Amino acid sequence: MAVSEIGLVGLAVMGQNLSLNIAEKGFPISVYNRSYDKTEAAVARAQKEGLGEKLSGYKDVKDFVASLQKPRCVSPRDGGGAISRPLR
């Protein structure tokens, strides 16, 4: 299992681009999305752009959390949807 410094939840347009930007800057990043097809798309794009070693996608949230170095840093990206509604 890869060990990442940063985790990002939510791979819509903003989350996918942010995760690829972080990987491009040389930081290992783990990504997770509720619908796995977006995770697969982010991983495929990372591989296409030569960032496959820096970006790891996870289907299971437990595996995603386990992939993060401690202390864990997770940035949820949901475009103001289900994750952030309770925070308002």
For residue range 11-28, what is the model confidence (pLDDT) as tens digits? 999 999 999 999 999 999
Give me the CATH number covering residue 63: 3.40.50.720
Range of the domain at 62: 6-87
Please tell me the predicted confidence (pLDDT) of residue 80.
60
| Residue 1, domain member (yes or no) | no
Contacts 24+ apart (CB under 8 A), 77-82: 77/8, 77/9, 77/10, 77/11, 77/12, 77/14, 77/15, 77/18, 78/9, 78/10, 78/12, 79/10, 79/12, 79/14
| Residue 51, domain member (yes or no) | yes
| Residue 60, domain member (yes or no) | yes
Kindly report whether the global pTM for this prediction surpasses the value 0.85: no
Please tell me the predicted confidence (pLDDT) of residue 87.
45
- In total, how many domains does the chain have? 1
| Residue 48, domain member (yes or no) | yes
For residue range 28-75, what is the model confidence (pLDDT) as tens digits? 999 999 999 999 999 999 999 999 999 999 999 999 999 999 887 666
| Residue 25, domain member (yes or no) | yes
| Residue 27, domain member (yes or no) | yes
Please tell me the predicted confidence (pLDDT) of residue 79.
62
